[in-house]
Structure 1
């Protein structure tokens, strides 16, 4: 398991951080008004259990299926898809994406894994049993996060909109605009479908939005501030929360972040001040 970034990984990360610096300040200002809306409840989390997580993993996508975590990592030249043992963090199977692409979110559909790339406008479908490429598909704009509700794929692209996509033809069928207190919420990143709602990491924050998929309204904020206090000095500020997985059978919710050494099983607590352990 990698515990630090290689020199090449650090250079890629610094490049990525530089591109994102200007957007970060704008996003922080943008989120202040929606977060302050008294009608939207704020949840903190209680840590049920902490698990090992590869500190070298620039996490972009995450889901739980049949006892294993599946994770995608980003950065050009370092983008991978992994099957991971929850209890130990051991990578039991992985594959690398082409060096020229920046891997983004992943989800599952039957016996396939469906993934996105950031700016290449190309998605890929892998056989979940061996990670071999089954087919590719295209989409306009950027690819950020992806999940599914059992009928459709749901994709984020950095804008306030969620795209709903047919899982067979990969054609977009509709869009829903995400708002909080009537204001658009941008930078919807990693997504997870949880009991009828979409959970979305808000990029460059420690917050997750709970989204009504029919109206696009944010029905709650999950505040992860302080969940991972051990920051990575090599991460150039990019070791933010990103990664949500849900075990629907046991109702377990997992969260992690880019370059975090831990993955957490958590329970939501309405109100409160910071994570409980």
Structure 2
């Protein structure tokens, strides 16, 4: 009878322990979900529910292969936007519990609303699935996407007739481009390689993406670095002499929202301007921090040119201080002044 009593007592203790563990993880998960939309800022201390603290001897956070016991939003570990982490909770009974979590980190500075005025409209070839778009000396350089249709073209603003074009192999899906010095750099979607051309659009060489970059999306440059997006929240700065080398990267978020699927890029006057796939906005981004400092709402223009399918806003260039915008399969290029 005594043995049966001890076994039963142990079972009850084990069941109570399991119940407590489950309650603690649920408490942490529920709290995380409520904080996910509200978000944190760099320097904030993570707010852990009191019942979790009372139940724990130690708490650490894992970031992939890194781990920290400092429950603070430290930029050494966290980036702007969503952060996937794991809470490791050592209980007072010696067990280790783990809870996956997503922690949002937002910019401290409020993003300004930017307004615009349409100054002019130019024709655009509606067969062009626009992936990269730049203006130099009144000449448009455009990267046209889709497998079997991909090419690099250039034409005079106001005309739709290409003066030169470079046709891509049928397995290539062309993406972002940038004119850097006397070369044209072009990304591809999923083949993890890019192309470098001379200004006559003759292929000089290919380069491989660094492993950290999953896909090729948008591209620009700041006069020193190639700047690349890959469809995530990240923007990468590459060495133009060796485009396989990542020098640094930033993650993109405003004071209220993290942005992934960052697409076509343009650098102008100390800021990065970016399309977000399937959103009728252009973000103005601080290239030092990734903070969104301005948001340009273009719903009215998008409604005039898009059917709501894949013909999305995707093309930013600058004509002096005015912005040129277009999209995939759009029939028009808009010149706007941004206020």
- TM-score band, normalised by the shorter chain? 0.7 to 0.9
Q: CA deviation at 1:84?
A: 1.3
* Larger CA Rg, structure 1 vs 2: 2
**How far off its partner does 1:38 sit?**
9.7
- Out of 141, 159, 169, which is 2:232 matched to? 159
- 1:86 and 1:123 map into 2 onto residues whose CA distance is 26
| 2:267 aligned partner | 193
The question of whether the paired residues in 1 share the 8 Å contact of 2:305 and 2:331 is answered with no
State the TM-score, normalized to the length of structure 2.
0.65
The unaligned stretches of length 5 or more in structure 2 are: 1-80, 82-103
If asked which structure has higher relative contact order (CA below 8 Å, sep 6+), I would say 1
Which of 229, 232, 239 is 2:311 aligned to?
A: 239
- Is the CA contact 2:306–2:312 (under 8 Å) kept in the aligned structure 1? no
CA-to-aligned-CA distance 1:71-101 (integer Å, 9 cap, x gap): 0011000011111110223211111111101
**CA contact under 8 A between 1:60 and 1:104: conserved in structure 2?**
yes
Instruction: Measure, in 2, the Cα distance between the counterparts of 1:63 and 1:188.
Output: 17
In the other structure, the counterpart of 1:251 is 321
Rounded Cα–Cα distance in structure 2 between residues aligned with 1:93 and 1:80? 10
Within the alignment, does 1:134 sit opposite 2:204 as a pair? yes
Task: State the alpha-carbon separation in 2 of the partners of residues 181 and 70 from structure 1.
Answer: 34
Q: Aligned-pair distance for 1:232? A: 5.8
Do the aligned residues in 2 keep the contact of 1:116 with 1:123 (CA within 8 Å)? yes
Q: Matched residues in 2 for 1:49 and 1:241: separation?
A: 17
Matches within 5 A, 1:83-122: 83-122=154-193
CA contact (8 A) 1:67 1:86 kept: yes
Aligned CA distance change for structure 1 residues 86 and 232 (closer, same or farther; 3 Å):
same
Cα separation, partners in 2 of 1:252 and 1:232, compared to 1, 3 Å: closer
**Is contact 1:102-1:117 (8 Å) kept?**
yes
Post-superposition Cα deviations, 1:170-210, rounded to whole Å, max 9, x if no partner, equal 11111111111164310110000010000000011111110
Match 1:202 to one of 265, 273, 276: 276
Q: Which residue of 2 aligns with 1:263?
A: 333
Q: Deviations over 1:45-81 (max 9, x none)?
A: 2111000000111000011112201000110000111
Size of the alignment, in residue pairs? 232
Equivalents in 1 of 2:255, 2:304: separation in Å? 33
- Does the 8 Å CA contact 1:228/1:260 hold for their aligned counterparts? no
CA pair 230-178 structure 1, distance change in 2 beyond 3 A: closer
Aligned equivalents of 2:302, 2:239: Cα separation in 1: 36
Identify if the C-alpha distance between structure 1 residues 221 and 112 changes in structure 2 by more than 3 Å, giving closer, same or farther: same
TM-score, normalised to structure 1, is 0.79
Q: Which runs of 4+ in 1 moved over 3 A?
A: 228-233
